[in-house]
Structure 1
Amino acid sequence: MLLRDLVGRADLRLRLLHGDEAALDRPVRWVYTTDLPDPGRYLSGGELVISGLVFRTSEADTERFVAALAKAGVAAFAAGAAVFHGIPDDVVEACRRHDVPLVEVPEEVSFGAVTEYVVGSVTAARGERLAVSLGRQRQLLAAVAGGAGLDELAARVGAEIGRTCRVLSATGRLLAGGPLPERELGEAVRTFLTAERLPAATGHASDGARGQRGNPAGAEAGAAQRAEPVRTVFPVGPSSELRATSWFVAVDGPPPEGDRAEAVGELVAVAALDRARRGEGLRVARDIADDAIALVAEGAGERPELPVRLRQAGLDPSAAHAVVVAAFEGRGRAETARSVLVDAAAHLGPPVVGTLEGHAVALVPGDPALLDRALARIAPGLSGERLTVGVSRPAFAAALAGALQEAQHARSLAAQRPGPLQVVTATEVTSHVALLAAVPDEIRRTFADRVLAPVLAYDTRNDAGLLETLEAFLDCSGSWSRAAERLHLHVNTVRYRIGRVEELTGRSLAHFPDRVDVFLALKSR
């Protein structure tokens, strides 16, 4: 109810001693009767405070009491006239100073009658709002049951409250509602990720934004619009969840109140249900994704199982796909990295995301540059966290194992760079990894077998440690002493083993082209 409803009640004969039209439009949330000298601790705002002025023994008492009401943000102060046979001037002046609406309750009107009217009106209004809310919830749930999508539900709530509603992910993926300019999208995501408390309002309307909303006449109207937030963001899901893996609802304008706030809350609840439903679908597809990524890691590019798994996961096996590897620092963070990668990779199309060796791995279609922009949006929300990402060049199924190695190498480079988020793409990888990634898996394996098969066979028969010695020797740039120190062997033993390798492979490791062949064969296994 509004204060004007109470003052306008003829049988109560209340008289407004201080307050203008705006004051009469203040909502009365509840009623509180007191004669405490300082009732501030018991007030939360919006109450009609009723007092018989028994607390008043001096003007200082009045000042203290009214100041407490103003600080609490009460709707109005209803003062009884019975004790002083009217309302003392200092009470009126204090209410004027603190801008607290003042209502006189005549001697013949009991506080009980005023209280009964306020409680009855507020309770009835709450019942009506509850009925409206339940009706809206039934309509939304019926729409969901009837197959309505999240986009349709956001539009329905937006039409009801007179504002545009959008549902977005932490990487800026639009799940419902119309698109946003990149700057405003980034601001909405940044507000969601960094606000100390949610819901939170984004920045204020710029001159351009004001022009789009209309040009209100007068400097006062213009100033008011300059102070209006562009939109308000609400979290979807539990507050304990990492925001970088969450959704949020963005509503144009300042924080909605009353019925509008309730309608937005119901949209948030439906969005949470939709997110849970999609999450269940992703969990069902998780095993298929893990199988596909495991086949890629095994170098099964030429085997018929891989195209089948890619098709089952929703990818076109005849198209090229980039491989993305992501990781948070610290153990046990693979699932968090996977959740971030699922959201970011969805900007490119249906992603296949799993885990491999403690890292999140995705196979994605399209332009990986879009992925880089999506990941960059969550950087403000990584306070205290560190996410490193490597992205390969697009590769066809036969060369996906090489692309995986390229992405892993790129992520290793990212891990060496400072900052909460580092994304390294294949264009920054200039080593042999880039060369090998472009070669189909079967060709790489054939080359490795042709060069190293005699060495592997000899080790199998004799447990001679030739391969281990060869890897150490090449890692030490051909230094006999450093290789011996690493392997805890005598230098002569290293020389003997490398000599056996040269005999078996027919290549001299002192000859640079032969050394390159052996090195690439090792990296192609």
Structure 2
Amino acid sequence: MTSRDTELRPSAELLTWLTSLRTLSAAAASGDGLREVLDLVARTARSLLGFDFCGVLTPNDAGTSLLITGWSGLSDEYVARINADRPVGLDSTAPSAQAFHTGRPVTIRDITAEPQFTPWGGVARDQGYRAIVSVPLVAEGHVLGTLNGYYTPLHTFTQHETERMSLLANHAAIALTSARRLDELSRLNESLRAQRDILTRSEQIHERLLDVTLRAGGLDGIARVLAELIGRPVLVEDARGTVLATAGDSARLPAPDWTTTATDATSSTKPVRVEDGQHPFWVASVRLDGEVVARIWYSGDRGGLDQLGERAVEHAALVISLELFRIRTGVETEHRLRGELLAELLTPGSEVTEQLSHRAQYLGHDLARPHIAIVGALGATEEDVSTHIYHRALTAVSDLVRPYRPRPLAAMHHGRIVVLWPIGSETETSTGTTIVLSEQQAAERLYTVMNSVSPTTAASVALSTHDKHGTYAQAYRMARGALDIALRAGRSGTVVTLADLGLTGLLLQLDDPAQLLAFADRSLAPLLAYDRDHRTHLLETLQTYLARKLNRAETAQELHLHPNTVKQRIQRIEHLTRTDLADPATVVHFSTALTIRGVATADSSSTP
């Protein structure tokens, strides 16, 4: 080997450096964990530069302090004490903080002579070092942290030493950047894999719940599968608090009468934690067309669910909404079929044909049985309540009559809920007892159910009398007429019978409204004609005068008139009709005529 070959051959120290840097670069690119790369940086610096201890410091998540995240030679106790009790604040005068902010090396020959190092003097003595050098780790113009070297004895750092330390720090910063990016990619990949697994499992959960509905498992089947998926008992109730399905240990479920008082906290589709005073529960709402139609309750004695458990509840809510939509569609179809049947039965002059009887029998009704008619209204007028509320009320009424045999026929007709109730219809309780409601009891049950639909809307119900020879149309005319007359008189929010209406109720039972109206028209014709020709209010004055028992002062007060004006109108009425209102027979005559006119008007408004 020539002398020139010897000059060109790298020195042993350079080979060591090159090998170490190659190892460091390979580790950063190999996908090793960030902690392993940081420890390797510290070991390499300690090995190449001869430090007693080495450490790599990087900012914490908040960016307020530097923590030791890689080390060589330092004890685990020292690292833990520094990181937990004495972190290097970035706003301090510590050499690491100075190097981080200035981007230049900082050296201390003797830490005991430096006041700014006092906070770390105790742990430094325990570790056993006196001298320190801190070099910034700079990559792509950004300071990533510092590389620190420690000597046990006093040590004066030369420029050559700091330059070598900086050279190593530059390579270490590049390796640290690569390791961080790989670590971020690894975490991202893990997150993506976790999300993929969750999505896959979520799809399996959804398919399993959907399979229940496809196999006609109903709400009970959905509740059972959900309880199995989340490992907790489940209760499903509708928006009114009626239990639709349960699964699992009922002792760990909320009492149904309590859940209705907790609705303010249960409008969220995400599970919300509520307490009944002793036990925690979780509840999520089921929505359909933006409306809360059901709620899912499950026990919260083991805290909240994990992500998959919450997904299971979300999917269950979706499947329950689909099942309720299917039920609602079936209910609407049922309402339509029963409404068509009812409309045919209430048509004046219609007969119960064999075909009509078969249709009714298919729907569970026996038209051979005598029926009474019960008519219900929500609010004082048809415009007071939305159609949606009426549909809810009809569904509630249909649920009420469903267990009875033969089944009462309930449907909407001309803006009212109409029920044809078979005399003697019966049902059995859970104990096997047979219940037969009287006509009055049936009407009161319907009244109670209709009132439960809306807390702000009062129900009114009227019923006809039992006439085994009467038609369905006649029974309906009586009940509808009684209801309309009661509402006009301000008698809403109650159950009205024909007997409650006195003479009016008796007249409603007469089956010749045309003759009744003709009598009323003959008696009141002069007043009707005069009011029409002169735009006066004689008929209204007469009606009020009779209602106020011939008291002119009270009549004037109610009509907002002067008593003399009332006197003049009464004289005009007597002149036109050639009567004397001081005669009791005349009072009865006009009172009857006015009542008949009201009955006939109510009858005409209720005719299909």
Residue equivalent to 2:312 = 263
The 8 Å contact of residues 390 and 408 in structure 1, kept in 2 or not, is answered as no
Bigger shift: residues 347-356 or 229-238: 347-356
Alignment of 1:50-65 (within 5 A): 53-54=58-59, 61-62=64-65
Whichever residue aligns with residue 510 of structure 2, its letter is R
Q: Does 1:494 align with 2:573?
A: yes
Residue equivalent to 1:522 = 597
Q: Secondary structure at the match of 1:392?
A: strand
Residue equivalent to 1:335 = 387
The 8 Å contact of residues 235 and 246 in structure 2, kept in 1 or not, is answered as yes
Hey, what's the Cα distance between the residues in 2 that align with 1:184 and 1:145?
Answer: 30
The 8 Å contact of residues 322 and 392 in structure 1, kept in 2 or not, is answered as yes
Specify which of 281, 303, 306 is matched with residue 330 of structure 2.
281
Q: Does 1:141 align with 2:190?
A: no
The 8 Å contact of residues 242 and 256 in structure 2, kept in 1 or not, is answered as no
Whichever residue aligns with residue 572 of structure 2, its letter is T
Q: Alpha-carbon deviations, 1:243-299, whole Å to 9, x = none?
A: 4xx333333436543222222212211121122223333444555566678789xx8
Alignment of 1:3-18 (within 5 A): 12=33
The 8 Å contact of residues 443 and 462 in structure 2, kept in 1 or not, is answered as no
Residue equivalent to 1:153 = 222
Whichever residue aligns with residue 235 of structure 1, its letter is V
Tell me, which stretches of 5 or more residues in structure 1 are unaligned?
Answer: 1-9, 16-50, 66-77, 96-105, 207-225, 380-385, 417-423, 503-507
Whichever residue aligns with residue 337 of structure 1, its letter is I
Q: Does 1:354 align with 2:419?
A: no
How many residues in Structure 1 have an aligned counterpart in Structure 2?
406
| Cα pair distance change 1:378/1:248, threshold 3 Å | farther
| Cα pair distance change 1:352/1:322, threshold 3 Å | same
Hey, what's the Cα distance between the residues in 2 that align with 1:414 and 1:80?
Answer: 83
Hey, what's the Cα distance between the residues in 2 that align with 1:461 and 1:512?
Answer: 16
| Cα pair distance change 1:460/1:438, threshold 3 Å | closer
Percent of residue pairs bearing the same amino acid type? 12
Hey, what's the Cα distance between the residues in 2 that align with 1:413 and 1:154?
Answer: 50
Q: Alpha-carbon deviations, 1:54-78, whole Å to 9, x = none?
A: 36999xx24xx9xxxxxxxxxxxx9
Give the C-alpha shift of residue 13 in structure 1.
8.8
Residue equivalent to 1:236 = 287
Give the C-alpha shift of residue 170 in structure 1.
2.0
TM-score relative to the length of structure 2: 0.51
Residue equivalent to 1:399 = 475
Residue equivalent to 2:70 = 81
Q: Secondary structure at the match of 1:521?
A: helix
Specify which of 388, 393, 396 is matched with residue 458 of structure 2.
388
Residue equivalent to 2:144 = none
Specify which of 195, 200, 203 is matched with residue 131 of structure 1.
200
The 8 Å contact of residues 402 and 436 in structure 1, kept in 2 or not, is answered as no
Q: Does 1:249 align with 2:282?
A: no
Q: Alpha-carbon deviations, 1:180-204, whole Å to 9, x = none?
A: 9999324323333564645464753
| Cα pair distance change 1:145/1:516, threshold 3 Å | same
Hey, what's the Cα distance between the residues in 2 that align with 1:200 and 1:514?
Answer: 69
Alignment of 1:106-505 (within 5 A): 110-177=179-246, 184-192=255-263, 195=266, 197-199=268-270, 201=272, 203-204=274-275, 226=278, 228-238=279-289, 240-241=290-291, 243=292, 246-253=293-300, 256-285=305-334, 303-304=350-351, 311=360, 318-320=370-372, 322-327=374-379, 333-349=385-401, 352-354=410-412, 356=414, 361=417, 363=419, 368-369=444-445, 372=448, 375-376=451-452, 379=455, 386-393=456-463, 397=472, 398-407=474-483, 424-426=493-495, 434-435=501-502, 443-446=509-512, 449-456=514-521, 464=529, 472-476=541-545, 477=547, 478=550, 490-499=569-578
Hey, what's the Cα distance between the residues in 2 that align with 1:400 and 1:328?
Answer: 19
Hey, what's the Cα distance between the residues in 1 that align with 2:482 and 2:460?
Answer: 8
The 8 Å contact of residues 509 and 515 in structure 1, kept in 2 or not, is answered as no
Residue equivalent to 1:218 = none
Hey, what's the Cα distance between the residues in 2 that align with 1:199 and 1:371?
Answer: 36
The 8 Å contact of residues 402 and 433 in structure 1, kept in 2 or not, is answered as no
Whichever residue aligns with residue 297 of structure 2, its letter is A
The 8 Å contact of residues 399 and 440 in structure 1, kept in 2 or not, is answered as no
Whichever residue aligns with residue 92 of structure 1, its letter is A
Residue equivalent to 1:75 = none
The 8 Å contact of residues 301 and 440 in structure 1, kept in 2 or not, is answered as no
Hey, what's the Cα distance between the residues in 2 that align with 1:82 and 1:283?
Answer: 74
Q: Alpha-carbon deviations, 1:394-449, whole Å to 9, x = none?
A: 86644334433555577779998xxxxxxx331xx5997555797695x3343x55
The 8 Å contact of residues 378 and 457 in structure 2, kept in 1 or not, is answered as yes
Hey, what's the Cα distance between the residues in 2 that align with 1:356 and 1:284?
Answer: 18
Hey, what's the Cα distance between the residues in 1 that align with 2:264 and 2:519?
Answer: 57
| Cα pair distance change 1:514/1:161, threshold 3 Å | same
Q: Alpha-carbon deviations, 1:198-248, whole Å to 9, x = none?
A: 546475356xxxxxxxxxxxxxxxxxxx4x42442323224x43x4xx333
| Cα pair distance change 1:280/1:80, threshold 3 Å | same
Q: Alpha-carbon deviations, 1:337-375, whole Å to 9, x = none?
A: 224313433441358453746xx6353865744763685
Bigger radius of gyration, 1 or 2? 2
Hey, what's the Cα distance between the residues in 1 that align with 2:484 and 2:528?
Answer: 31
Question: What RMSD in Å do the two structures reach over aligned CA positions?
Answer: 5.6
Tell me, which stretches of 5 or more residues in structure 2 are unaligned?
Answer: 1-30, 37-55, 88-146, 148-171, 403-408, 422-441, 467-471, 601-608
| Cα pair distance change 1:451/1:511, threshold 3 Å | same
Q: Secondary structure at the match of 2:280?
A: coil
Bigger shift: residues 453-462 or 246-255: 453-462
| Cα pair distance change 1:247/1:327, threshold 3 Å | farther
Hey, what's the Cα distance between the residues in 2 that align with 1:279 and 1:288?
Answer: 14
The 8 Å contact of residues 219 and 244 in structure 2, kept in 1 or not, is answered as yes
The 8 Å contact of residues 150 and 271 in structure 1, kept in 2 or not, is answered as yes
Q: Alpha-carbon deviations, 1:285-323, whole Å to 9, x = none?
A: 555566678789xx8687547996994876655444643
Give the C-alpha shift of residue 90 in structure 1.
5.7
RCO greater where, 1 or 2, for CA within 8 Å and sep 6 or more? 1
| Cα pair distance change 1:414/1:148, threshold 3 Å | farther
Hey, what's the Cα distance between the residues in 2 that align with 1:199 and 1:374?
Answer: 31
The 8 Å contact of residues 372 and 465 in structure 2, kept in 1 or not, is answered as yes
Q: Secondary structure at the match of 1:235?
A: strand
The 8 Å contact of residues 266 and 284 in structure 2, kept in 1 or not, is answered as no
The 8 Å contact of residues 527 and 576 in structure 2, kept in 1 or not, is answered as no
Q: Secondary structure at the match of 1:251?
A: strand
Bigger shift: residues 125-134 or 473-482: 473-482
Hey, what's the Cα distance between the residues in 2 that align with 1:349 and 1:163?
Answer: 35
